[in-house]
Structure 1
Amino acid sequence: MKSTEITREEMWAKQHLSANEIDYAIWEQDKVVLQQMSKISRSCSFVVDVYKYRYAFASSNFADILGYDSRKIATLEKQGDYLESRFHPDDFARLEQLQINLSKFIYSLPHEQRNDYCNIYSFRLMNAKQQYIRVISRQQVLEQSRNGKAWLILGNIEIAPNQTETDQVECTVLNLKNGEMFSPTLVSIPRIHLTQRELEILQLIQKGLLSKEIAHNLCISIHTVNIHRQNLLHKLGVQNSIEAINAGLKSGILS
């Protein structure tokens, strides 16, 4: 069923989250708050655990308002992609592609900017009467790891006030820091500008040379090589040489 070159889970895996970076005691506190909020709000909230690649929570409103099985909602972490089972199949395929494209954009940004966005989708979902209705889903980072990586994603689904029949999946991205909004169809990965020296070093890294060998080849000090390497990692938005090579290949900097 997968029609994309890379899955959402593979995009999440690019963060390289580890157990020592996250604290599930924080999630237990968040869960209590979400359960209390679900009694006040009539929207349907859910949480995705990026570390475990699965849904961690869904409010009871999914059963009350949209007709989901209440027992499966209560044990959503064991139900796989149950929430998505009621999405319109055509819309689901489009949503998946949009999420992957947006993830590529997010991971092209510097680490400190990656958690600043809220993605807003409009699509069709089957309700309790077995009819497809239009809903609005908002998703943003709820909790970060100790290293600032997206760990828990909070989603909120509500029935759209405009029920005009259409087969279009709409998506808007909101920058939570400055209020700017844009369409993902206009998203492009920023051009990466490397100096000639940085490019030379990246090419030598691709060939498997160590810093000492690169310094010898370019007649510069190891300290200078290491400074260039750190600049490379920052500009490419990666954490190690393997990721730098992959980013260079994807962006066309390397061949």
Structure 2
Amino acid sequence: MEEINRFFNDKNEVRSDAEIDRSQMGDYLEAVKAFSRLTYQSLYVIDYQTRAFDYVSDNPLFLCGKSSEEVKELGYAFYFQNVKPEDVELLIKINEAGFEFYEGIPVQERKLYSISYDFYLLNGKKDMILVNHKLTPMFLTEEGQIWKALCIVSLSNSTSAGNIVISREGSDELWKYDPEISKWERDEKIKLSQREYEILSLYASGLTINEIAEKLFISADTVKFHRKKLFEKIGVNNIAEALDYVKTNKLL
């Protein structure tokens, strides 16, 4: 239990007697379950008062051979069993930095923010997969602490753990965290050009390079040129990764 408590922070301590407006919940788990049926991603709901999971979706890719109920029962012990030890320490550092950042946000704006980061899951004794977590508050206490949060897990399009980013809904600003120097740095979201947006939209519709060229009245080589520049801009290697990146980052 002491190990698990390292994932939680005094800045977001939700005591058993915390003032919480429970009317904000409704039957929220039914909505979460419905969403989980429509996405390939895995969903978790974290309760910071009980320090446990309220819900874990049944996606075997991210359960490391366990059932969703087994992971729900394990709670944060799941990470100590199925995450590289150095990445466990990274996750704990991300929690500390995230809550420190969060404390500086006005209470009325806190639900607008989300944090994203990558780490390795041990998928079996030897295999590892790099996954991405995106976490955002669902319900707050009266004092503004996170009571419950939704976490979405997907395959990462990065090549290493870390990549810690906080973003705000409706803003092009974001903040990147460097764990080596324990510092947040302000940045801006990548923006697609009109041509990049058009090409990606047509790729997402299932069109080939030649069909895209015909639709846009340009040559196939021009499509390839814009595609290559886009890959360099967002740091991916192929169109599948590019589509995943822009959808995950709400660029498309």
Q: How far apart are residue 135 of structure 1 and its match?
A: 0.8
Return the match for 1:172 from 134, 159, 165: 165
**Aligned residue for 2:184?**
187
Q: How far apart are residue 136 of structure 1 and its match?
A: 0.9
CA offsets 1:159-202 (integer angstroms, 9 cap, x no match): 1234x3x4x422111112423112123428xxxxxxxxxxxxxx
Q: Secondary structure at the match of 1:21?
A: coil
Cα pair 2:9 2:99 within 8 Å, conserved = no
Q: Secondary structure at the match of 2:55?
A: strand
**Aligned residue for 1:89?**
85
Q: Is it true that 1:150 corresponds to 2:146 in the alignment?
A: yes
**C-alpha separation between the residues in 2 aligned to 1:107 and 1:91?**
24
**C-alpha separation between the residues in 2 aligned to 1:83 and 1:46?**
12
CA gap 1:48/1:131 in 2 versus in 1, 3 angstroms: same
Q: What amino acid is the match of 2:116?
A: I
Cα pair 1:173 1:182 within 8 Å, conserved = yes
**Aligned residue for 2:108?**
112
Cα pair 1:86 1:125 within 8 Å, conserved = yes
CA gap 1:54/1:93 in 2 versus in 1, 3 angstroms: same
Q: Is it true that 1:43 corresponds to 2:36 in the alignment?
A: no
**Aligned residue for 2:74?**
79
Cα pair 1:57 1:76 within 8 Å, conserved = no
CA gap 1:87/1:184 in 2 versus in 1, 3 angstroms: same
Q: CA RMSD in A?
A: 3.1
**C-alpha separation between the residues in 2 aligned to 1:68 and 1:22?**
37
CA gap 1:102/1:138 in 2 versus in 1, 3 angstroms: same
User: Is 50-59 or 131-140 further displaced after alignment?
Assistant: 50-59
User: Is 112-121 or 43-52 further displaced after alignment?
Assistant: 112-121
Aligned residue runs from structure 1 range 59-78, under 5 A: 59-61=57-59, 63-64=60-61, 66-70=63-67, 73-74=68-69, 76-78=71-73
**C-alpha separation between the residues in 2 aligned to 1:66 and 1:75?**
9
**C-alpha separation between the residues in 1 aligned to 2:137 and 2:149?**
5
Q: Is it true that 1:127 corresponds to 2:126 in the alignment?
A: no
Q: Which has the larger radius of gyration?
A: 1
CA gap 1:32/1:75 in 2 versus in 1, 3 angstroms: farther
CA gap 1:119/1:40 in 2 versus in 1, 3 angstroms: same
**C-alpha separation between the residues in 1 aligned to 2:170 and 2:43?**
22
**C-alpha separation between the residues in 1 aligned to 2:40 and 2:167?**
23
Q: What amino acid is the match of 2:104?
A: S
CA offsets 1:203-254 (integer angstroms, 9 cap, x no match): xxxxxxxxxxxxxxxxxxxxxxxxxxxxxxxxxxxxxxxxxxxxxxxxxxxx
Percent of aligned positions that are identical: 16
**Structure 1 gap ranges (5+):** 189-255
Q: Is it true that 1:159 corresponds to 2:152 in the alignment?
A: no
Return the match for 2:95 from 95, 99, 103: 99
Q: How far apart are residue 66 of structure 1 and its match?
A: 4.3
- For normalisation by structure 2, the TM-score amounts to 0.60
Cα pair 2:18 2:141 within 8 Å, conserved = no
Q: Which has the higher strand share?
A: 2
Cα pair 1:66 1:128 within 8 Å, conserved = no
